[in-house]
Amino acid sequence: MSAKNSKSAMSRRTFIGIGSAIGAMAASDSRPLLAQPRSSQPVVISSGNGFLYRNGGSETCVERAYRMITEGNDVLESLVAGVNIVELDPEDTSVGFGGLPDASGNVTLDSCCMHGPLKRAGGVAALQGVRTPSNVAKAVADLTDHHLLVAEGAQDFARQMGFQIEDDLNTERSRQRYLEWRRRIDPSHYPDPNRQAKLNQESIKKFTRNSIKIAHEMANEGLIDPEHLYGTINCNGINSNGDICGVTTTSGLAWKIPGRVGDSPILGAGLYVSNDHGAAGSTGRGEANLYNLASFLVVEELRRGADPKDAGMTALQRIWENTETRLLSENGEPTFNVNFYVLGKDGRHAGVAFYGTSNNGDQRNYAVCDENGGRHEAIEGLIR
């Protein structure tokens, strides 16, 4: 780390440290929590892919969701219709149909949603065979007394609810990327499935390290989008009544150990919504977010009166403090990224991340749609 970077990282830490201290005071004293002013302007925000993919149509996720909200549709219904575009678009290899599969070659999907005014939530994890897991998550919220269904149970539920179940959600692209990953991780055993090594504890650790390393290698070679390694879309919106909802959907970590579930379907981790205070959702390394239930923390910070950017930065700081040494660089900085998309009750919003720019300096963005139309806005980085 250069002296300049070291100094700015230090001052940021000092600043965040003071911010955390103030937050802790607010949490421990007996002052009433601030009432949040209400927005009268609808707005939809999402991860950057929500203003990128159109699945061959004319609208992006945030544009469709905003249009539907302003036409008077239910906010959650509108957001789910928005993320369906990205789930169905095979070009986004981190969400829904055509998502990069797990280590066995199966596309397994995670999603959850929260309806602020109705105080309903639903999620599915490790779901196979349904292109739009967000719709199944919404059906769990609308039709059951449960909040999370997983694996075969989630698929059985989807089948009973009339969703089409497909044998394989791979596209030719995701299948080819998978075969390339298999060739690199296991050259001696590939392609004979009968010769796969039995995974003991050591080989699982080695497998995970190698898998991430190979994924980064393939991203550097342009074979996969580096943003699709963990991928995901989170989308949050508010209407003119101040009704707030959110949804998150993903194919999860590329080539994960089968059965791995990330943060996306977990309430408080991949998404949290309070109709009184705001919504937050996340993309990036799910394990980091799961350990801290950081979307819940962001909304708690909104409840204490923080603005969306500071609320997100506090959660990032917490994740950093709770990161294992093996995941920190020699400068003590996280070797992974986590992003939060934060929407306040007053309609203000922010996108924050450890790294707001990529290694080669490209600005990372989140998506917004309001009365000024759809656009990308810059993600603010805690570190860079």
Kind of pairing, strands 148-150 and 120-127?
parallel
- Kindly state the smallest distance separating residue 209's Cβ from ligand GLY, in Å: 17
Judge contact between 323 and 23, C-beta under 8 A.
no
- Kindly state the smallest distance separating residue 17's Cβ from ligand GLY, in Å: 27
Query: From CA 287, how far away is CA 259, in angstroms rounded?
Result: 14
Q: What is the dihedral of CA 256, 258, 263, 267, to 10 degrees?
A: 170
43 residue type, one letter:
V
- Kindly state the smallest distance separating residue 201's Cβ from ligand GLY, in Å: 22
- Kindly state the smallest distance separating residue 251's Cβ from ligand GLY, in Å: 8
Q: Which is nearer to ligand GLY, 89 or 263 (CB)?
A: 263
The site for ligand GLY (CB under 6 A) is made up of 230, 232, 250, 252-253, 262-264, 283-286
Q: Which is nearer to ligand GLY, 215 or 238 (CB)?
A: 215
Q: Which is nearer to ligand GLY, 238 or 254 (CB)?
A: 254
DSSP class of residue 246 equals: E
Mapping DSSP to helix (H, G, I), strand (E, B) and coil, where does residue 87 land?
A: helix
Residue 373, Cβ density class (10 Å: 0-12 exposed, 13-18 middle, ≥19 buried):
exposed
Tokens of 74: 């239910």
Q: Which is nearer to ligand GLY, 248 or 275 (CB)?
A: 248
Q: Which is nearer to ligand GLY, 67 or 260 (CB)?
A: 260
Q: Which residue has the tokens 């109705």?
A: 118
- Kindly state the smallest distance separating residue 234's Cβ from ligand GLY, in Å: 9
383 residue type, one letter:
I
Q: Which is nearer to ligand GLY, 109 or 214 (CB)?
A: 109
Query: From CA 267, how far away is CA 248, in angstroms rounded?
Result: 10
- Kindly state the smallest distance separating residue 241's Cβ from ligand GLY, in Å: 30
Query: From CA 137, how far away is CA 157, in angstroms rounded?
Result: 10
Mapping DSSP to helix (H, G, I), strand (E, B) and coil, where does residue 105 land?
A: coil
